[in-house]
């Protein structure tokens, strides 16, 4: 039985697949140097700024002997076959944030926002679907490039929301503890968040006076109601208001 590999530079089609690239970072399974190399390759081959999309794979399946399953039934550039599959696009953003590339992460986060496909009448005519909901996919090749596919896709919307709140703004809640670990552009000077936990409210302000991309344990500081604390705060839901200040 012949073995087939996808995402290999030796292939005629599907020479690169974004899932392997981004999940080498997200899973923490990739070697340190190779994680950066894999994301650089992804940026060079899968980010299509002209059409505002992040492709799942490239080139699309069409005539080669590779048999990836049902996605080959789609036309080249449609849905998983070389278009933007939005789940995987958000994973790219999360991977960029995990590597500390706040400027890249926000650029891509904005780029795949549906409203960016509808800034002009010309762009809207190409996109053709609602500009206010996340699509499952956007076509990525030929005269259909940039056209939206299946919209109102809750799975992709959830990943997009999660990436924005947790990976960019850095609000992370786990096992009853809160921490703020943002990955933002260096030119962001300040932003605020409010987090409701049971009957308590956490008013959070993040300051970035030194133009950093993220939290650095050795130099950043966290103040809870004016007192310096670790960046791991046990949540309390007993009708209190907490003021949390994070300086990057």
* pLDDT value for 12: 64
* Rounded CA separation 101/184 (Å): 8
3-state helix, strand, coil in the chain (%, to 5): 30, 25, 45
Q: Report which DSSP code applies to 70.
A: G
Axis crossing angle, helix 102-111 with helix 86-98, rounded to the nearest 10: 160
pTM for the structure as a whole? 0.92
* pLDDT value for 8: 64
Which mean pLDDT values do the consecutive 10-residue runs of the chain (248 residues) have?
58 80 93 92 95 90 73 80 93 98 97 95 94 95 89 95 98 96 98 97 98 95 97 94 98
Domains and CATH numbers, the chain: 16-167 (1.50.10.10), 170-247 (2.60.420.10)
Tell me the residue ranges of DSSP E strands in the chain.
Answer: 16-17, 47-48, 53-54, 57-58, 84-85, 137-138, 171-174, 177-180, 190-197, 200-207, 221-224, 227-229, 233-234, 241-247
HEC sequence for 135-148: CCEECCCHHHCCCE
* pLDDT value for 2: 44
Instruction: Look up tokens 């896709």; give the residue.
Output: 153
Rg of the chain over all Cα atoms, to the nearest angstrom: 20
* Burial environment of residue 22 by CB neighbours within 10 A (0 to 12, 13 to 18, 19 or more): buried
Dihedral, CA atoms, 149, 116, 100, 27, nearest 10 degrees? Answer: -10
- Residue 91 in 3-state DSSP? helix
Exposure letters 88-120 (e unless 16+ CB within 10 A, then b) = bbbbbbbbbbbbebbebbbebbebbebeebbee
Q: Count CB neighbours of 201 within 10 A.
A: 15
Q: Are 211 and 187 in contact (CB under 8 A)?
A: yes
């Amino acid at each position: 039985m012949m073995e087939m590999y996808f995402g290999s530079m030796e292939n005629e089609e599907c020479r690169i697949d974004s899932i392997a690239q981004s999940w080498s970072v997200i899973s923490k399974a990739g070697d340190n140097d190779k994680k950066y190399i894999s994301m650089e390759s992804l940026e060079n081959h899968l980010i299509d700024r002209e059409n505002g999309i992040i492709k799942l794979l490239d080139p699309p399946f069409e005539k080669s002997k590779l048999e990836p399953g049902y996605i080959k039934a789609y036309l080249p550039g449609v849905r998983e076959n070389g278009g933007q599959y939005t789940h995987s696009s958000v994973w790219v953003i999360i991977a960029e944030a995990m590597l500390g590339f706040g400027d890249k992460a926000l650029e891509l986060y904005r780029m795949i926002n549906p409203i960016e496909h509808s800034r002009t009448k010309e762009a809207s005519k190409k996109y053709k679907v609602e500009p206010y909901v996340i699509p499952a996919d956007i076509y990525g090749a030929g005269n259909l490039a940039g056209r939206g596919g299946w919209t109102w896709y809750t799975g992709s919307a959830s990943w997009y929301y999660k990436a924005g709140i947790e990976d960019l703004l850095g609000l992370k809640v786990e096992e009853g503890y809160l921490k703020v670990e943002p990955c933002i552009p260096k030119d962001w000077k300040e932003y605020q968040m409010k987090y409701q936990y049971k009957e308590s409210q956490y008013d959070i302000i993040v300051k970035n006076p030194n133009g950093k991309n993220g939290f650095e344990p050795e130099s950043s500081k966290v103040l809870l109601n004016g007192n310096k604390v670790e960046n791991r705060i046990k949540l309390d839901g007993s009708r209190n208001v907490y003021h949390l200040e994070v300086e990057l």
